[in-house]
Amino acid sequence: MLAPKKKKLVERSILGITDFTKSSTNAVLFAANLLKNTAIKLKLLNVYETPTEKATLLISVDDILTQDSESGLKKQTTEITSGLKNITP
């Protein structure tokens, strides 16, 4: 007797563009919910623009913006991970 073939799980990717608002968190969770029966790889992207007149600034805006982005991504990753636990297949 032949063993039944196992279905190969296809991994899907979600690219979540975020501005760290509750709306962007909900959008990522909504997309994940659509693919709840699928293996997913989730990537978050936050884009910011540095001022063009950097030479006249007294502080490094690049460092501040980078730190804010990294901090926001960590916080939102925690929120999304928690939300994903509530999605049942």
* Cβ-contact 18, 76 below 8 angstroms: yes
pLDDT in tens, 21-73: 999 999 999 998 988 888 889 999 999 887 776 666 667 788 888 999 999 99
pLDDT in tens, 6-31: 666 678 899 999 999 999 999 999 99
* Cβ-contact 69, 48 below 8 angstroms: yes
Tokens representing residue 84 in the block: 């994903």
pTM above 0.85, yes or no: no
Show me where the domains of the chain are located.
14-84
| Sequence-separated (6 or more) residues with CB below 8 Å from residue 9 | 38, 39
